[in-house]
Structure 1
Amino acid sequence: MVTDLDGGAPALPGAARAERPPRLLLVGLALGTVYLVWGSTYLGIGVMVADMPPLAAAGGRFLVAGLLLGLVLALRGGRRRLRIGLAELRSCALLALLLPVLGQGMVTVAESGGAPSGLTALLVAAVPLWVLLYRRVSGERPVRSAVLGAVVGFAGLAALLAFNGVSGDFPFWTVALVAFSSVSWAFGSWSQPRLRLPRDPFVTTVYEMLIGGAALIAAGLCAGERIAPASYSAASWIAWAYLVIFGSVVAFSAYVWLLHSAPVSLVATYAYVNPVVAVFLGWLVLSEAVTVPIVAGGAVVLLAVAIVLRAERPRRKRESTEDSASDGAVP
């Protein structure tokens, strides 16, 4: 169940929610924030790792974002709001491993190795397809059109990997690592509603980011990364700060607010808008090539994601807001 940022009453379901419809302008602003900011995080990562070591930079990003969000929650709801039990802490630690560390951390490493930001976003867009696969393996029976959409999507994903592995101007291991990160992120998304977590999703996010950030920094130090803040360019620092404030705090808060203020089917459109934004910005700012295989394979993946999300919409209406939030991300 999703609570508001002030730690007040839980989100109202069904008819009660309709009694307090949010202003269309606020919904539009929040949705635009999720579209543009999350779509631009891939570009931000590419600029950040031009100078910064990937694991330490990603770890610092999440650690600082977790501290900032935790401070906001404590100031507005009291320190008691951040208290959680040992079982909840263990669940947050597991999600920290699957989402910030193996999810976003590996994306950062891949972009540091040369993976284009636009292609990275297209590969990550396949997360809803992997979630559907996990649900099918666990015994659930998704609707037939969703399964068909997933099959088409995986074909597009395979085409993206194959064509860019053969003719890409970057090491194939980078795009393979991105594919692995999307598998990990999807598993974390699928697992989240099955874990014992704090009732407040903002509190869950604070601990995920704190634990994940600390783990990434430790991994970077063990891997021999050298942390030298004075040697980083202003562009890298600006990108890092943008990812901390806008990518991890502002956009996520807007996303959670949307989940209990607007139809989930509308909020879910970020999954196929973000990659389009990322490809455009990668081409515009970083001069990344937009090849025919990337356009064709990416179009197939995004079409498949749209089919799956549309087919699953009736099911989502019967689920809780918190379960719906588990299919999201904190780019």
Structure 2
Amino acid sequence: MALVWGLTWLPMKIASEAVPPIFLAAIRFMLAGFCYFAFILAKGLPLGMTQPGRVIVASLLITTGCYSFLFWGVARAPTGLSSIVNLSLMPILLIVVAAFYGQERITLRRVMAIGLGILGLVMLFSGRAGTTGSDAILGLGAVAVATLSYAWGSVVSRPLMREMHPISLAFWETAIGALGLVPASLMMEGYDPARFVGLADPRALVGLGILVIGGSLGGFSIYLWLVRDWGAFRAGLYSFVSPVVAVTVGIAFANEAFGWPEALGMGVMLAATALALTEDRLPSRRAG
């Protein structure tokens, strides 16, 4: 899962050069939804939905809210830095949101993690302020908002994972979220029939293939299983691996700049992630 999610960032950005990013996200999750549905029918898995209101809210947060901001942001910011912001903030925001819902406690260790994560984020943004245009800074900000939306949706989803099969839950969250991405794309990007022709562009085809098969069908399904069996914080261990993969790919294949300011900011944020994911007692790592 960590390797796959580290490899999806650059294809996401390249595919966004062929079609608008939110439109791309909508097509990605529509295709993923059809694939999940076919798999469920082939395996005879239960398709029933429990707590439909909670499923809808989780879908709009995890898929619609997160990926509209994420795809829009990555189209404007370096993929390596986008992955650092997203993956380093994820466990920290999971702590904050889960504590708000009474599922986790805010301990001294976690307060330190939150503070360190904010410091690393400030260092990362300040390190880019003098060398990066405002569009890229806005892009990284959008990635941070996307991370909050995903963390919020993950916490809302947690009770559902004990009542629904992970693949069935992934189908509903993917399909409902994809429907929400359609009006988001129309409002932000307008309507242009030529975009459907753009989907035949090799950049879009390869990007969608990697995002649908790897990111959605592979990575997201594994993530839901891990959150169900391990809890959100232990599942968040991928945050240590995926940024390194994404940064390496961005430097090697997209000539993305990565100097000492970025490395220092990344180190501080990953240290915050380590604090967030290191618990004193095993039960505190599990779902409430």
Aligned length: 282
1:163 is aligned to 127
Which residue is 1:294 aligned to?
Answer: 262
Q: Is the 8 A contact 2:10 2:79 kept in 1?
A: yes
Residue 275 of structure 1 deviates from its aligned partner by 0.9
1:27-42 equivalent positions in 2, closer than 5 A: 34-42=1-9
For residue 192 of structure 2, the aligned residue among 203, 208, 226 is 226
Query: Secondary structure at 2:164's aligned position in 1?
Result: coil
Per-residue Cα deviation, 1:13-47 (whole angstroms, up to 9, x for no partner): xxxxxxxxxxxxxxxxxxxxx12111111112111
CA shift digits 1:184-235 (9 cap, x unpaired):
1122222222569852222111111111112112221233142433335212
Aligned pair in 2 of structure 1 residues 263, 44: CA closer, same or farther (>3 Å)? same
Find the counterpart in structure 1 of residue 144 from structure 2. 179
Q: Name the CA distance, whole Å, in 2 between partners of 1:102 and 1:213.
A: 10
Question: Is 1:206 the equivalent of 2:171?
Answer: yes
The amino acid across from 1:65 in the alignment is: A
Distance 1:176 1:65 in 2: 27
Deviation (angstroms), 1:249: 0.1
Residues 95 and 166 (structure 1), Cα distance of their counterparts in 2 relative to 1, 3 Å cut? farther
- State TM-score, norm by structure 2: 0.87
Query: Aligned to 2:105, what secondary structure does the other structure show?
Result: coil
Alignment of 1:1-331 (within 5 A): 34-77=1-44, 81-85=46-50, 88-112=51-75, 114-125=76-87, 126-138=89-101, 140-169=104-133, 171=135, 172-193=137-158, 198-223=163-188, 224-227=190-193, 228-232=195-199, 233-257=201-225, 267-311=235-279, 314-316=282-284, 319-320=286-287
SS at match of 1:141: coil
Distance 2:95 2:171 in 1: 27
Contact 1:91 1:196 in 2 (8 A): no
> Which residue in the other structure is 1:23 paired with?
none
Amino acid at match of 1:229: F
Q: Could you say what secondary structure the match of 2:68 adopts?
A: helix
* 8 Å CA contact 1:197, 1:204 repeated in 2: no
User: Alignment partner of 2:49: what SS?
Assistant: coil
Contact 2:49 2:164 in 1 (8 A): no
Query: In the alignment, is the contact (CA less than 8 A) between 2:55 and 2:157 conserved in 1?
Result: no
Q: Would the aligned equivalents of 1:65 and 1:209 in 2 still touch at CA under 8 Å?
A: yes
Q: 1:107·1:178 contact (CA, 8 Å) conserved in 2?
A: yes
Is the Cα contact below 8 Å between 1:89 and 1:207 reproduced in 2?
no
Q: Is residue 143–residue 312 contact of structure 1 (8 Å, CA) maintained in 2? A: no
Alpha-carbon distance, 1:266 to partner:
6.5
Structure 1 residue 309: deviation in Å?
0.3
* 2:166–2:221 Cα contact (<8 Å) kept: no
* CA distance, structure 2, for counterparts of residue 269 and residue 142 of structure 1: 19
Mark the CA change 1:267 to 1:220 in structure 2 (over 3 Å): closer, same or farther: closer
8 Å CA contact 2:22, 2:72 repeated in 1: yes
The 1:195–1:201 alpha-carbon spacing in structure 2 relative to 1, beyond 3 Å, is closer
Q: Distance in 2 between matches of 1:256 and 1:194?
A: 12
Distance 1:271 1:196, change over 3 A: closer
Separation (CA, whole Å) in 2 of partners of 1:242 and 1:46: 12
Greater alpha carbon shift after TM alignment, 193-202 vs 230-239: 193-202
Letter in 1 for 2:283: R
- What amino acid does structure 2 have at the position aligned with 1:303? A
For residue 273 of structure 2, what is the amino acid of its counterpart? Answer: V
